[in-house]
């Protein structure tokens, strides 16, 4: 199956933060999208997220120039997104060690690379990737966070986690340590799928059913969906930076309807 992608994005500092430490990028022709949510001291989070996105984007583009995207299979696609996650980690870790102003900086990272009838996903931290198919919204990534660990252990419920003061504590991030293990998976893709990459500024403000409702209402217009997700997250409080990337999958005939 030959797939075509429409990729749009929206990002906003939110209603509380003075500047935006999220960063996004995508390339429809190359078939990838990447999102990072930075953390650290003054401006350091912004530096980390920008470094991660720029390094991943340039690295994947350079690699795909050497081999056509149609030549990718699941192992090579997974290796590609994992490799550039690790390269970003090494570069950010070294920058933080060599510049006192960047000490402790880090970032979440989520990457989607579409090839053939599949998508390879790599992520570190609590930025997420969802798939919206046949009216069903499914989270494909698993948060690397303290709360997710507590939920898996049965210490708290998912509903209780929404109001926990620890909801933004990640257990894994890019650039914090010399080594990091990105979680990497491959999922099947169908024409008509929508994919959503997002920072926790969205998911802290909106529930999955609320996100699904927006995607249903804006099914024909991915940019409207991205803008509306950000608008409603801000309307619900906008306590953090909010970034989203919406990817709509069509087939080579131009159809993207379910």
Is the residue at 84 inside a domain? yes
Is the residue at 256 inside a domain? no
Tally the C-alpha atoms within 13 A of residue 152's C-alpha that lie toward its C-beta.
8
Residue 63 token pair: 């690699």
Question: pLDDT value at position 156?
Answer: 87
Domain boundaries, position 23:
3-251
Q: For the CA atoms of 121, 116, 9, 255, what is the dihedral angle to 10 degrees?
A: -140
Is the residue at 11 inside a domain? yes
Tell me, rounded to whole angstroms, the distance of Cα 116 from its chain centroid: 21
How many Å apart are CA 139 and CA 184, to the nearest integer? 14
Region at 238 (left for phi over 0; alpha for psi -120 to 50; beta for the rest) = left
Question: pLDDT value at position 257?
Answer: 41
Report H helices in the chain.
44-66, 74-98, 146-153, 158-161, 200-203, 208-217, 222-235
Is the residue at 27 inside a domain? yes
Q: What is the pTM of this model?
A: 0.94
Is the residue at 257 inside a domain? no
Paired residues of 119 in beta bridges: 114, 187
Paired residues of 40 in beta bridges: none
Question: pLDDT value at position 151?
Answer: 86
Is the residue at 227 inside a domain? yes
In order, the DSSP letters of 32-45 are EEEEEEEESSTTHH
Helix axis angle, 222-235 to 208-217, nearest 10°: 140
* Beta carbons of 47 and 95 less than 8 angstroms apart: yes
Is the residue at 258 inside a domain? no
State the total domains in the chain. 1
Question: pLDDT value at position 3?
Answer: 81
Helix axis angle, 74-98 to 44-66, nearest 10°: 140
- CATH number for position 225: 3.60.40.10
pLDDT-flagged residues of the chain (< 50): 255-258
Question: pLDDT value at position 199?
Answer: 98
Is the residue at 97 inside a domain? yes
Question: pLDDT value at position 71?
Answer: 84
Paired residues of 8 in beta bridges: 246
């Amino acid at each position: 199956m030959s797939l075509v992608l429409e990729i749009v994005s929206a990002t906003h500092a939110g209603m509380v933060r003075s500047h935006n430490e999220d960063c996004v990028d995508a390339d429809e022709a190359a078939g990838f999208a990447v999102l990072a949510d930075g953390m650290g001291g003054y401006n350091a989070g912004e530096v980390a997220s920008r470094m991660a996105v720029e390094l991943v984007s340039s690295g994947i583009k350079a690699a795909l120039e050497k081999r056509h995207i149609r030549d990718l299979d699941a192992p090579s696609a997974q290796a590609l997104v994992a490799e550039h996650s690790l390269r970003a980690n090494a570069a950010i870790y070294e920058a933080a060690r060599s510049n006192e102003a960047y000490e402790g900086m880090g970032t979440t990272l989520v990457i989607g690379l579409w090839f053939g009838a599949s998508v390879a996903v790599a992520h570190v931290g609590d930025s997420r990737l969802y798939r919206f198919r046949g009216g069903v919204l499914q989270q494909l990534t698993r948060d690397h966070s303290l709360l997710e660990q507590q939920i898996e252990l049965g210490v708290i419920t998912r509903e209780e986690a929404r109001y926990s003061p620890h909801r933004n504590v990640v257990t894994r991030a890019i650039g914090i340590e010399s080594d990091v293990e990105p979680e990497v998976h491959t999922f099947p893709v169908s024409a008509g799928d929508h994919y959503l990459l997002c920072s926790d500024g969205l998911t802290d403000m909106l529930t999955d059913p609320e996100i699904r409702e927006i995607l249903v209402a804006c099914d024909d217009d991915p940019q409207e969906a991205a803008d509306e997700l950000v608008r409603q997250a801000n309307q619900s409080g906008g306590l953090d930076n909010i970034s989203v990337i919406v990817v709509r999958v069509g087939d080579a005939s131009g159809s993207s309807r379910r």
